[in-house]
């Protein structure tokens, strides 16, 4: 997050001998000034209040790209990107807003956010947004060495259960009908994996593969 640090890691990445960088989301944050404060305090300010419109999203990307370390990493290597939630709104799920605004307002916000994301990221013409929708999933092959299956785990998912995973496990989480990818994307992924001739098949996505216990005690 721009307010939390100076992107030193990106600066070090730019000095490495890499073939590409895979970025798994939260490239920007939509918050207003000091709405999200790091445990050690924020080190710099950004350009204004919480963002909702296309000009505001564009300005937020411009602000992040003003960071020299981030620019250096972009200049040094090609990037493979996908989004998570903060490119639009914290904890949104498909058409369900992460906050308390009406769905109609949220979809207008998502339309603006998707357009700005496409404008600022290295994406194919097939990903041109169509209103509040955008085809982000894609496969990228690196010879016969690797196939990157780039997933979208926001646009088709069920809403998060158990307080976004912070509450103890509950029956809703174990409902087999729930999905984070949606049926069409899951089918696309499995068909691609079955046809792949690559030595490595990489899932580029945003979700932890193991549970995390953030609270002490039996809960």
Q: Where are the domains of the chain?
A: 8-204
**Angle CA 78–83–89, to nearest 5:** 145
* CATH code of the domain occupying 8-204: 3.60.21.70
The pLDDT tens digits of the residues spanning 92-134 come to: 999 999 988 999 999 999 999 999 999 999 999 999 999 999 9
**Reported confidence tier of residue 219, pLDDT bands at 50, 70, 90:** low
Predicted model pTM: 0.93
Q: Which of the two residues, 213 and 52, has the higher pLDDT score?
A: 52
Q: How far is CA 106 from CA 46, 76, 88, 161, in A?
A: 23, 36, 9, 20
pLDDT of residue 216: 82
Over residues 129-180, the pLDDT tens digits come to: 999 999 999 999 999 999 999 999 999 999 988 877 777 778 888 899 999 9
Q: Residues 6 or more apart from 27 whose CB is under 8 A from it?
A: 64, 81, 83, 86, 87, 117, 121
């Amino acid at each position: 997050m721009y307010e939390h640090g100076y992107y030193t890691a990106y600066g070090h990445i730019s000095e490495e001998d890499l073939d590409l960088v895979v970025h798994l989301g939260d490239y920007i944050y939509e918050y207003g000034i000091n709405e999200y404060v790091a445990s050690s305090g924020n080190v710099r300010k950004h350009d204004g209040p919480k963002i909702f419109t296309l000009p505001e999203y564009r300005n937020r990307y411009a602000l992040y790209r003003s960071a020299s370390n981030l620019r250096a990493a972009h200049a040094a290597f090609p990037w493979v990107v996908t989004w998570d939630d903060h490119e639009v709104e914290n904890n949104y799920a498909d058409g369900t807003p992460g906050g308390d605004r009406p769905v109609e307002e949220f979809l207008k916000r998502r339309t603006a956010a998707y357009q700005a994301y496409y404008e600022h990221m290295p994406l194919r013409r097939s990903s041109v947004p169509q209103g509040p929708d955008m085809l982000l999933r894609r496969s990228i092959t690196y010879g016969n060495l690797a196939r990157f299956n780039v997933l979208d785990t926001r646009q088709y998912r069920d809403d998060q259960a158990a307080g976004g995973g912070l509450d103890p496990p509950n029956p809703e989480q174990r409902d087999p009908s729930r999905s984070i990818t949606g049926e069409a994307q899951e089918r696309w992924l499995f068909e691609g994996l079955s046809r792949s001739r690559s030595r490595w098949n990489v899932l580029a996505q945003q979700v932890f593969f193991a549970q995390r216990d953030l609270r002490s005690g039996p809960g």
